Amino acid sequence: MTTHHWSEEVFAAMKARGIGTVATVPDGGLTRLLKLCEADRDSRIVTLTTEEEGIGVLAGLWLGGKRGMLAMQSSGVGNCINALGYAGTLRAPCLMLITMRGQWGEFNPWQVPMGQATPKVMEAMGVKCFPVDRAAEVGETFAAAADLAFNGDFAVAVMVGQRVIGAKGFGK
């Protein structure tokens, strides 16, 4: 019996929509998706030094007629606040897949403030947010969010909850 992972549905939605580049600060919750992208000769991963660089990468791709997405952990959202203004000002699509921390089962109190603030911060910057707490809904939510981003030139974030990615720990 093979197990199906939500990242496979996200990857299929990416391919169906011509999303060829993933800008990312890698996170454990994104590992399966990033491995699918690495194995695909038509996909490209741009590893960032900090998350806000991804906003510029996505704007550049859009200006060049290409599509990309930003994949990051919620702790990196705080780094993007100022750069998110570019997407709104340019009316450039900005599709983000965010693995959440500071929620269900969080062991690290440092992750809680940004994890709890992420939806409010993103909405304050004009980002349309779609939280997902069931693995079976991640793929369809991502597909719908991608369509909204690219058809309407919006900044859109799919926030994959900790119930989906699992609570992390220090090897315990």
Q: How confident is the model at residue 2 (pLDDT cuts 50, 70, 90)?
A: low
pTM of the model: 0.93
User: What's the longest Cα–Cα distance across the chain?
Assistant: 48
φ/ψ of residue 131, rounded to 5:
-75, 145
Q: Which residues contact 154 (CB under 8 A, 6 or more apart)?
A: 93, 94, 128, 148
Q: How confident is the model at residue 15 (pLDDT cuts 50, 70, 90)?
A: very high
* Tens of pLDDT, residues 77-117: 999 999 999 888 889 999 999 998 767 776 777 777 788 88
pLDDT score for 147: 98
Strand, helix or coil for residue 94 = strand
| Distance (Å, whole) CA 140 – CA 138 | 6
- In angstroms, the Cα distances linking 90 to 20, 33, 83, 94, 149 are 21, 28, 11, 10, 13
* Tens of pLDDT, residues 148-163: 999 999 999 999 988 8
Q: What is the mean pLDDT of residues 122-142?
A: 96
